[in-house]
Every structure is written in C-alpha cells, then in structure tokens.
Amino acid sequence: MEVKLLDKTFKPYLSDKEIESRVFELSKKIERDYKDRNPFFIAILNGSFMYASDLIKNVKLECEIEFMKVKSYEGTSSTGIIREMIGLSKSIEGRDVIVIEDIVDTGHTLHYIKEELEKMNPASLAFTTLLHKPEAFEHNYVLDYIGFEIPNKFIVGYGLDYDGYGRNLKEIYQII
C-alpha cells in the first residue's frame, strides 16, 4: 500500500520481514568477525536508530554502543554541508569500532565521520549500513557490512525520513 508523507507519495520497497532477516544475517557475520573481541558500536542518528537497535539485539557479543548525530539532508537531497550535532562521550582509542549507518549514498557524511574517528586512534574501524546506493557513492573506502544495495532513489521508513516524517514505518518505501 502506498503512503503519503507531506507532498510526496511512496510505494513499498522492502518489507519488515526482508529487513529483519537481513539484519539478523549481518549480526551473525559481525559475531563471527569479532569473536572474542569487544566491539564498540557507534550509531549515527537520527536515521540509524531502528537498524542499530535491531542489530545490537541480535549481536551476542560483549559490546558497547554510543551515538553521534550528523546531518546533511534537507527534504529529499543532501545539502553537501555536514554538521556534527552530538559527539561521543567515551574514548575509542585502541577499540574495535563499528559505525552503524542507515543509508550511504554519496558517502560524504560517512567520509567525514571516518576522518574524525581515525583521529581518535581506534584499533580498527568498520562500517555497516542497512542501505547502500552504489550509483551515488563518490568515495573509495570499503563498507564492511551492507544490508541491501538499492537504486539511487529517495526512500523512507525504518528510521529514514522525509523532513522528519516516516521514521516510524516498519517497512521501507521508495518515492514514486
């Protein structure tokens, strides 16, 4: 069923069952890769809150999670200006860090985060994103754990929004 948010209409793209299954698969891969380690997750707000919650609930490792808030979107496109709103409250020096993103399109926001976190001397730095738009990606670093590769179209739901609306949808919808 289509949903209307403000002045835009969206059609179903990924069901809650597809998302749940893929998040579980990614959590098990992280468990295998970080066995006998204590990963430090950093979830990027606002969009990653649902993905981060579901991922962390399924990762059966001793771990920690912190949050950063970074914004570069207004409406349906990136402003190209990245503003860190809230930073970390703990040191990540010498830690195995996994950054949790909801979506990576151009990669500018994640590039900014990567550069800032590398200055803090983590032992390792990995990235997981639920959604990746390879057509829009403008950088050459590796995204270690990708849920779904999607076309370069605007989406909402499961934490992603259109001007603040649609984050509460448990499915992901694509703009028509």
Q: Which residues have a catalytic role annotated? A: 105
- 86/88 Cα distance (integer angstroms): 7
* Sign of the dihedral through C-alpha 114, 166, 148, 128: positive
User: Is-contact 95 66, C-beta < 8 A?
Assistant: no
What is the number of other CB atoms lying within 10 angstroms of the CB of residue 123? 12
Residue 170 Cα to chain centre, angstroms: 15
Q: Is 32 helix (H, G, I), strand (E, B) or coil?
A: helix
Assess whether the previous peptide bond of 46 is cis (omega < 30° from 0): yes
Amino acid in the structure at residue 1: M
* The pair of three-digit structure tokens given for residue 169, joined into one six-digit string: 């949808």
* The pair of three-digit structure tokens given for residue 17, joined into one six-digit string: 């069952």
Based on DSSP, count helices (H) and strands (E) in the chain, helices before strands: 3, 10
